[in-house]
Amino acid sequence: MSNSRETEPLLLTSRISTSQQPRASHAICLSIFIVGCIGLTVAIAWSYRESHQEPNPGPPETTTSSPGTGSLDMIESVNASSMLLDTISLNVFSLIVWGSPGSFGTEDKELRIKAIGEYIGNNTEYDVFLLNDLWMRADHEKIRSLLPESYQMSGVGQLAMRSCDGLAAPEFCSGLAIISKHPFKDIEFSPFTDHGDFFWDYEYFLRRGAGRVRIEPSPGHTVDVIVTSLASIDYNYWYRESQSKQLVDIVSKSDADHVIVAGDFNVDPRDNENTYKTLKSELTDAVEEFYKNDPLQYLDPKLSTFGNAHNTYSSKGQHPVVYDYIWCKPNNDNGITVADFQVPILRTKREEISFSDHEAVTAKFQLTK
């Protein structure tokens, strides 16, 4: 009897707890589900608010990233790549060909003109060749005949006045020519207004000026290339000063991304006249820029362009000077770097005579837009 009474409550209790357990479990699950839905709703709302929040306008220098972090290196790498995409190279060659008729005292002209044409025609280093003192039409055509068909060369009439002779004598000619591996987008000649004294020397009968072509070495990247020569002989400084002012005015009106000017300026940086200073007011001298404005380097006799000891036409003991230049100017906040500057010693292959009584000058530019 006692065993029966003791087991019945236990059986009853066990039966009751078993029937209530599912109800409690359902209540707990429902509570968890409701709390989860509320949490999910709050998380979605917070995420939506963050994704539509305005970015922090604070300056970039407040960033807590330290130099050398991966994110900063990546940004710098992207910026460097963008700069490289906007930078092009342009290699320039300039030479006075000493092309007056033999009656003017010019030596070995036919031999030298042929050598110059062959050199340009076979050269793969330079993009643009600027020639001056190329007075005669026959010499102009000789050089043209030695160029590859893909090269473009200005015509005599394109960079000279209509009155240019060039058959018997240089009267009223400019002596200028530009040869380019890039097509000409535009071409223009601007004669100087002052030419020399009618009663004094032959300068009066020449029509020096500035010949300009526009090229586009890369799509959307324009360069005005200008070739010129100024009045020769020391006593013509007044005419050189006047011509340099007009040249600077022409350069200042260019709307190209970059401007390159080269030629025979017949003035040394050490001369007591204003020509060189006038040019520097608007342009950068490539040789000075390359040698960091150190006169001990850019005025070294080995870089002289007239009277150079290595020139076969220089007289013994002749004082070496710099008369030939390449100038540059970036427009519209663009950049320019002189990557190299040279005064190459060029001679004919067989006879070993200089191309001219002046040395050529060359410059390699990095143009950034």
Q: What is the mean pLDDT of residues 252-264?
A: 98
Q: What is the mean pLDDT of residues 158-162?
A: 97
Query: Cα separation of 342 and 360, whole Å?
Result: 8
Rg (CA), the chain: 39
Q: Which of 187, 197, 294 minimizes the C-alpha distance to 237?
A: 197
pLDDT exceeds cutoff 60 at 319: yes
**How much is the pLDDT for 85?**
52
Query: Cα separation of 291 and 251, whole Å?
Result: 24
Q: What percent of the chain has pLDDT over 70?
A: 77
22 vs 342, which has greater pLDDT?
Answer: 342
**How much is the pLDDT for 80?**
47
Query: Cα separation of 282 and 327, whole Å?
Result: 10
Confidence of residue 315 (pLDDT cuts 50, 70, 90): very high
pLDDT exceeds cutoff 60 at 32: no
**How much is the pLDDT for 39?**
56
pLDDT exceeds cutoff 90 at 63: no
pLDDT exceeds cutoff 90 at 50: no
Q: Which of 281, 289, 211 minimizes the C-alpha distance to 245?
A: 281
Q: 252: which 2 tokens?
A: 């200042």
Residue with tokens 């005025």, as numbered in its chain: 299
**CB-based contact 355:347 (threshold 8 Å):** yes
**How much is the pLDDT for 200?**
83
- The alpha carbon dihedral of 278, 282, 283, 289 has a sign of positive
pLDDT exceeds cutoff 50 at 227: yes
**How much is the pLDDT for 41?**
53
Residue 229: beta bridge partners? Answer: 264
Of the listed ranges 68-77, 117-126, 266-275, the least confidently predicted one is 68-77
**How much is the pLDDT for 204?**
94
Q: What is the mean pLDDT of residues 84-101?
A: 92
Confidence of residue 33 (pLDDT cuts 50, 70, 90): low
**How much is the pLDDT for 76?**
42
What distances in angstroms separate CA 222 from CA 127, 185, 227, 263, 367, one per listed residue? 14, 9, 17, 21, 10
Phi-psi region of 188 (alpha: psi -120 to 50; beta: other; left: phi over 0): beta
Burial class, 144, CB count within 10 angstroms (exposed 0-12 / middle 13-18 / buried 19+): middle
Confidence of residue 27 (pLDDT cuts 50, 70, 90): very low
pLDDT exceeds cutoff 70 at 267: yes
Confidence of residue 199 (pLDDT cuts 50, 70, 90): confident
Query: Cα separation of 167 and 359, whole Å?
Result: 26
pLDDT exceeds cutoff 50 at 351: yes
38 vs 167, which has greater pLDDT?
Answer: 167
pLDDT exceeds cutoff 70 at 180: yes
pLDDT exceeds cutoff 50 at 53: no
CB atoms closer than 10 angstroms to residue 319: 11
Phi, psi at 277, each rounded to 5°: -65, -40
* End-to-end Cα spacing for the chain: 109
What distances in angstroms separate CA 205 from CA 184, 236, 327, one per listed residue? 29, 14, 27
**CB-based contact 365:328 (threshold 8 Å):** yes
Q: β-pairing, 324-330 with 128-132?
A: unpaired
DSSP conformation class of 68: T
**Across all residues in the chain, what is the average pLDDT?**
84
pLDDT exceeds cutoff 90 at 262: yes
> What's the pTM?
0.78
Q: Which of 154, 161, 208, 164 minimizes the C-alpha distance to 186?
A: 154
Residue with tokens 């009474």, as numbered in its chain: 5
Confidence of residue 64 (pLDDT cuts 50, 70, 90): very low
What distances in angstroms separate CA 138 from CA 85, 108, 203, 210, one per listed residue? 43, 15, 21, 21
Phi, psi at 251, each rounded to 5°: -65, -40
Phi, psi at 5, each rounded to 5°: -65, -35
